[in-house]
């Protein structure tokens, strides 16, 4: 293998740059050329591509976002769009592809690999951490740390004013950020899409807490379970307590990646190149109990990653 392409797709995640850096420098170490594909699959279709070298990835390991930029491409979902992308594979002489992104990116990569028989390795880069087959995805640790930092600050105000705060984090279909941040931030309640929402139970819990002498109540909610503004309104209506919503939103995607995410991304990027050089295709680079491994696409795409229900129950136990 003499030349490979690398792209970032879908939502950006802190640590993507560290992964790109590792792919480029590991490939160069083995005498393999690298082409950077800009703006994800959209740039792949349009031929927005350029050679990368060691200097291309200098001083990016500490930066959030992605220097290759990213997008979501409806056109790549079509056979015609993928055919245009393959024309650029031939034009640039690519013999392998590394895709860094989430579940939607993986599905597109799988189709492309199967249709055109080109080796493709994917790296999980999503703050949601909802990719099956890996303990962690790039960006999750940074996002959770950002959320916990915000929770700690809001708790100061919540205590000062003896109020309830609803803190909404990203997680349209996944509660991993809310659960981890809620547990680490000492939240009284965590609400996630994977578990049913009972507003009456939440309101009773808030009222009970204040009767027991609690000075505040922190509720962390994933956006896909119920919107924070709506929940805050219902809590105030049913309990009479002042309840303030805070939406962290895209704040969680930005910022310099943590040491954990930089290490993880670097190891995953290097492993992706190793798999391609070993003539492996249609695998995701994952981490299992600290080891960096290859996982078949079928194990990644066909099964939804389960939430840790013991961790979910622990939030309630520790909030007593």
Q: Residues marked as binding for substrate?
A: 126-128, 163, 170-172, 223, 244, 250-253
DSSP 83-100: HHHHHHHHHHT---EEEE
Q: Which residues are annotated as a binding site for Mg(2+)?
A: 103
Q: Has 12 been annotated as catalytic?
A: no
DSSP 96-126: -EEEEE-HHHHHHHHHHHHHHT--EEEEEB-
Structure tokens at 54: 């060691």
CA atoms of 210 and 226, how far apart (whole Å): 23
The DSSP bridge partners found for residue 101 are: 124
Which of 134, 138, 136 has the alpha carbon at shortest distance from 125?
Answer: 138
Helix, strand, coil % over all residues of the chain, rounded to 5: 45, 20, 35
Give 67's DSSP letter: T
CA atoms within 13 A on the CB side of 129: 23
Q: Which residues are annotated as a binding site?
A: 11, 21-25, 72-73, 102-105, 126-128, 155, 163, 170-172, 186-188, 214-216, 223, 244, 250-253
Q: Which residues lie closer than 8 Å to 251 by C-beta, 6 or more apart?
A: 146, 150
Give burial (CB, 10 Å; 0-12/13-18/19+) of 80: exposed
Q: Is the Cβ–Cβ distance between 268 and 292 less than 8 Å?
A: yes
Q: Give the active site residue among 128, 130, 141, 261.
A: 128
Question: Which residues does the annotation mark as catalytic?
Answer: 128
């Amino acid at each position: 293998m003499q030349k490979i392409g690398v792209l970032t797709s879908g939502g950006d995640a802190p640590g993507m740059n560290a992964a790109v850096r590792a792919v480029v420098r590991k490939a160069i170490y083995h005498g393999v050329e690298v082409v950077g594909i800009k703006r994800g699959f959209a740039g792949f279709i349009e031929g927005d591509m350029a050679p990368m070298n060691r200097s291309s990835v200098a001083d990016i390991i500490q930066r959030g976002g992605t220097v290759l930029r990213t997008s979501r491409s409806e056109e790549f979902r079509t056979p015609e769009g993928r055919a245009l992308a393959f024309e650029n594979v031939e034009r640039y002489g690519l013999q392998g592809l590394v895709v860094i992104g989430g579940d939607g990116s993986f599905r597109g990569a799988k189709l492309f690999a199967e249709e055109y028989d080109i080796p493709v390795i994917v790296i999980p880069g999503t703050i949601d951490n909802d990719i099956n087959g890996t303990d962690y995805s790039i960006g999750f640790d940074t996002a959770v740390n950002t959320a916990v930092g915000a929770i700690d600050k809001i708790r100061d105000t919540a205590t000062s004013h003896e109020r309830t705060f609803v803190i909404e984090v990203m997680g349209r279909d996944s509660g991993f950020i809310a659960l981890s941040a809620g547990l680490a931030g000492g939240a009284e309640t965590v609400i996630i899409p994977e578990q049913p929402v009972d507003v009456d139970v939440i309101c009773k819990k808030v009222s009970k807490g204040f009767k027991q002498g609690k000075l505040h109540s922190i509720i962390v909610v994933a956006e896909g379970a119920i919107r924070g503004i709506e929940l805050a309104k219902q809590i105030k209506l049913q309990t009479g307590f002042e309840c303030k919503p805070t939406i962290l939103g895209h704040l969680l995607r930005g910022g310099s990646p943590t040491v954990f995410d930089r290490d993880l991304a670097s190891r995953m990027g290097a492993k992706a190149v190793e798999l391609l050089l070993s003539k492996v295709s249609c695998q995701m680079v994952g981490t299992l109990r600290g080891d960096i491994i290859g996982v078949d696409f079928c194990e990644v795409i066909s099964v939804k990653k389960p939430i840790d229900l013991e961790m979910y129950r622990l939030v309630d136990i520790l909030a007593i």
